[in-house]
């Protein structure tokens, strides 16, 4: 399984970014997908997840109303639309594939088994 994430960058506070993550080597439509982020010196933390069909999503409270996770199963791609970015959103963002049988309620790092390489998001004030 390979995950290729892209879309990170340097933006000013209030701007938007759209992260993409394209998967290969798996039946994408059968996988719960998630986005995590990692701050310097901190453990990786949950940001958002989406069910196999895309009908159920889950967000950490700090991004609710600003971030939107979505997926295109035909293109084996999951997205994270990030609006109204804040300096505290600065982190490396990772996409991940949920373990078999997991749902969009899965927030623990341990519930995800394949990870992308990470893409840096930097928000300046």
Question: pLDDT at position 100, please?
Answer: 86
8 CB contacts (<8 Å, ≥6 apart)? Answer: 17, 19, 92, 93, 119, 120, 121, 122
Whether the per-residue pLDDT at 101 is higher than 90: the answer is no
Cα gap 13→105, rounded to integer Å: 29
pLDDT tens for 60-71 read 999 999 999 999
Q: Is a pLDDT exceeding 90 seen at residue 72?
A: yes
| Residue-level pLDDT at 102 | 86
Distances from the Cα of 90 to the Cα of 8, 13, 37, 108, 122, angstroms: 10, 10, 9, 20, 5
């Amino acid at each position: 399984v390979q995950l290729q994430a892209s879309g990170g960058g340097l933006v000013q506070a209030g701007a938007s970014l759209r992260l993409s993550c394209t998967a290969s080597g798996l039946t994408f439509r059968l996988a719960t997908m998630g986005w995590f982020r990692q701050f310097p010196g901190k453990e990786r933390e949950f940001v958002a997840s989406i069910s196999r069909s895309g009908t159920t999503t889950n967000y950490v409270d700090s991004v609710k109303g600003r971030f939107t996770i979505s997926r295109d199963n035909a293109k084996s791609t999951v997205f994270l639309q990030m609006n109204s970015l804040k300096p505290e959103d600065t982190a490396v963002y990772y996409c991940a594939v949920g373990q078999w049988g997991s749902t969009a309620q899965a927030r623990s790092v341990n519930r995800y088994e394949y990870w992308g390489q990470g893409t840096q998001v930097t928000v300046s004030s």
